[in-house]
A and B are shown apart, each in its own frame.
Chain A
């Protein structure tokens, strides 16, 4: 049979390409002439092999909607005050409404007109008279709420990306999954606990006035005035590690929030050698801070992060210029992380960690080592068996199997696929399965030889008759591999990638690579007996 030159060339091209793509993985330092278009990436290792953390987080989007309703309520309050419209209360009601409690219908009509102009997206429900007051409810419609939720997830994604960038992780993966999930992968991270705290912190910074008229020590949530809230200041004794909590009653309404910050940096107090975070406000924030401190000299100002009081210093004098500092009982690491989250901004809604898989680097190395070991032993066993059972033909099949692995590794590298531990398992399994095509062919050839055919005729007949069966068996194996690929995540996907690529490559090696060896050999040498 003629025409094997192009087949040999094709195989050689594949061998060279695979070697080129595998070079960055196999050598530690690339030679200097290795540049330009030549590939430089090593095979991507999954987190299970290189160690790291895989997080799935849920953004509590409903809280984002509630947050924006609260903002609307505060804004309405200010507008009503500005226009001298009397009202009893403006507050969020449930998950989708703002309720205004007014004294009479007359002002209610005015308010309604104002709301319509200011918030055209809010749907005004019919007025209800209740206990001498007029209740007016504004509802956020489904579409608008959905849009806000969507925005919250996008914002959270951006903020988390910012925080991770500033924290310094190489090659992180941060992506949205489904409606409200965010997947974060941090390869090779040393202190996963710290990273998770940094990522998951809502980091809502608020400056609130302390209400000194209420005794915080005896206050309970029920006994407080309506516009106050009870918070705690946590202090950790650096020497003993003991945590003490001091209650504080503060005004619910935040005077200034973290959105008005432009910068936050860690500094060390030269006097006490204590770390603190220096913050800078933007022009609006600076003006507000100036006004608030001027009006409240002598009062205490609580610095609140996610409902925890960091410190509550007394305002000694008016502070203009837009700088302030947050001190508290924290370590240098805490202060550095606080500065990062303040710089990167707060999350629009709290996030909940649904899944946290952390693999230590030594386990990853161990897995690679054991995977390679299992693979090597598998190869030796299969090679030995095939050589014993099919003699020289068996060695040809073994050569095909080795080509298979080489091509598969090259393809994984070229496609930038991720190799996981189950992925390695798939390759080891393929060592055993890939000789199947050759077994099918060899068994056919043996049958044909038994019928008295010449080696050449038996070989051709063997390949011909086994062809359809080989196609069938590869397609069926591909069906399940493709399904696994579709639904799998992480390690399972790695398995499916290796398996499906391996099956496709195997089709090529068994029908082209090993055949060409037989053809070339039988063409040149006149054989009386086939070593099979």
Chain B
């Protein structure tokens, strides 16, 4: 079977449109980063510090009853989320007194009598841990970006390195943008997903770059844009097929992996789509435009 026959699509020619889409995504992503830095985004308690609990009731319980029970005990600033199926409720507070989880359990026992519950998990994190994690995360992101630039610069030339990094940054920003717009929680697992996708996206980009380099050696006469377009088209089939298989794996994680990694799997699904898009529409066009400009300048 062949989904994609020999194609000849002018991807580079679509750059005006794709750059516009990517630019908007990147701007939203940057807004998301600003929101994260200012702490106004939906931050996980592993970054902000606080308490989160997963509670499983014996009988159906709605979040209003839980909110009332907690309010009666003086626990006010809580975010509640009902988990579909299994009478479960997630409780999140951006404060931790070290005994918050116990206080919540006591309040529920007193406030909702007759509906017994078990605490499936509880996490309490002090603010100092969150601060350290933020710093560690920044270092990790910076280190992986640096590693990527160094490797690509060594294997290809500088322009390709920049193209790969821009495409990777684009994916990171787009994932942040999606999470920011959908108000999904930014936690350490999300960062993990972002870095994983950065690696995946880079792989996709490198495959196209490899082909471009090969074709540049093969046909020296052809104009740059033609070679770029031909290379993207030749690798298009592989890009799509790999994306499909990875996408299938990520989707089964999203649908069947359970509540704990639901957001993580969602980030992966978004990431696979974005990474595929960027390796076709962002990475190579950037290098192509740059190369073309350089050639034009030489010609003058």
Is B261 touching A382 in the complex (CB atoms < 8 A)?
no
Is A469 touching B206 in the complex (CB atoms < 8 A)?
yes
Q: How far is the CB of B182 from chain A (nearest CB, A)?
A: 20
Give the dominant DSSP class at B's interface. Answer: helix
Residue on B nearest A487 in the bound complex, by CB = B140
Is A480 touching B144 in the complex (CB atoms < 8 A)?
yes
Q: Which of B123, B125, B152, B256 is within 8 Å of A370, CB to CB?
A: B256
Write out, one digit per residue, whether chain B residues 250-292 have a CB within 8 A of any chain A CB (1) or not (0).
Answer: 1011011110110011001000000000000000000000000
What residues of chain A lie closer than 8 Å to B196, measured between beta carbons? 426, 429, 480-481, 484, 495, 499
Is B241 touching A357 in the complex (CB atoms < 8 A)?
no
A363 interfacial by beta-carbon distance below 8 Å? yes
Total A-B Cβ pairs within 8 A: 218
A295 interfacial by beta-carbon distance below 8 Å? no
A475 interfacial by beta-carbon distance below 8 Å? yes
Q: Which of B140, B214, B242, B257 is within 8 Å of A439, CB to CB?
A: B242
B77 interfacial by beta-carbon distance below 8 Å? no
Is B256 touching A374 in the complex (CB atoms < 8 A)?
yes
Q: Which of A386, A443, A480 is within 8 Å of B238, CB to CB?
A: A443
A90 interfacial by beta-carbon distance below 8 Å? no
Q: Which of B137, B199, B235, B253 is within 8 Å of A378, CB to CB?
A: B253
Q: Which of A354, A367, A432 is within 8 Å of B258, CB to CB?
A: A367
Is B151 touching A355 in the complex (CB atoms < 8 A)?
no
Q: Which of A363, A373, A382, A482 is within 8 Å of B249, CB to CB?
A: A382
Is B144 touching A483 in the complex (CB atoms < 8 A)?
yes
In the bound complex, how far is the Cα of B140 from the Cα of A375, in angstroms?
28
B192 interfacial by beta-carbon distance below 8 Å? yes
Interface segment, one of B15-23, B113-121, B222-230 = B113-121
Pick the most buried of B101, B244, B253: most chain A CB atoms within 10 A of its CB.
B253
What residues of chain A lie closer than 8 Å to B123, measured between beta carbons? 355-358
Is B250 touching A432 in the complex (CB atoms < 8 A)?
yes
B246 interfacial by beta-carbon distance below 8 Å? yes
Q: How far is the CB of B268 from chain A (nearest CB, A)?
A: 7
In the bound complex, how far is the Cα of B199 from the Cα of A469, in angstroms?
15
In the bound complex, how far is the Cα of B264 from the Cα of A362, in angstroms?
21
Is B253 touching A374 in the complex (CB atoms < 8 A)?
yes
Q: Which of A357, A381, A439, A477 is within 8 Å of B248, CB to CB?
A: A381
What residues of chain B lie closer than 8 Å to A431, measured between beta carbons? 245, 249
Write out, one digit per residue, whether chain B residues 177-208 have a CB within 8 A of any chain A CB (1) or not (0).
Answer: 00000000000110010011011101100110
Pick the most buried of A366, A439, A468, A475: most chain B CB atoms within 10 A of its CB.
A439
Is B203 touching A436 in the complex (CB atoms < 8 A)?
yes
In the bound complex, how far is the Cα of B195 from the Cα of A496, in angstroms?
10
Q: Which of B122, B137, B151 is within 8 Å of A476, CB to CB?
A: B151
Q: How far is the CB of B202 from chain A (nearest CB, A)?
A: 4
What residues of chain A lie closer than 8 Å to B56, measured between beta carbons? 362
Q: How far is the CB of A466 from chain B (nearest CB, A)?
A: 9
Interface size range of chain B in the complex: 35 or more
In the bound complex, how far is the Cα of B119 from the Cα of A447, in angstroms?
57
Is B151 touching A435 in the complex (CB atoms < 8 A)?
no
Q: How far is the CB of A193 from chain B (nearest CB, A)?
A: 7
A273 interfacial by beta-carbon distance below 8 Å? no
Is A484 touching B258 in the complex (CB atoms < 8 A)?
no
Is B189 touching A473 in the complex (CB atoms < 8 A)?
no
Write out, one digit per residue, whether chain A residues 60-86 have a CB within 8 A of any chain B CB (1) or not (0).
Answer: 000000000000000000000000000
Residue on A nearest B188 in the bound complex, by CB = A492
Q: How far is the CB of B93 from chain A (nearest CB, A)?
A: 14
B237 interfacial by beta-carbon distance below 8 Å? yes
Residue on B nearest A493 in the bound complex, by CB = B192
Residue on B nearest A401 in the bound complex, by CB = B245
Pick the most buried of B56, B242, B255: most chain A CB atoms within 10 A of its CB.
B242
CB-CB nearest 10 A-B residue pairs: A432-B249, A370-B258, A480-B199, A432-B246, A473-B203, A378-B252, A354-B126, A374-B256, A479-B147, A363-B120
- Taking A362-B120, A432-B248, A436-B242 as known contacts, 10 extra A-B pairs with beta carbons closer than 8 A to each other, sorted by chain A number, are A356-B125, A363-B121, A377-B256, A388-B1, A422-B264, A431-B249, A433-B245, A469-B207, A477-B202, A484-B192
Contacts from A to B (Cβ < 8 Å): 48, 56, 58, 193, 352-360, 362-363, 366-367, 370-371, 373-375, 377-378, 381-382, 385-386, 388-391, 421-422, 425-426, 428-433, 435-436, 439-440, 443, 446-447, 450, 465, 468-469, 472-484, 486-488, 491-492, 495-496, 499
Q: List 22 A-B contacts (CB under 8 A).
A: A352-B98, A354-B126, A360-B118, A362-B118, A362-B120, A371-B261, A421-B261, A425-B257, A426-B196, A432-B250, A439-B245, A469-B206, A475-B151, A476-B151, A476-B199, A477-B200, A479-B199, A479-B202, A481-B196, A483-B144, A484-B140, A487-B140
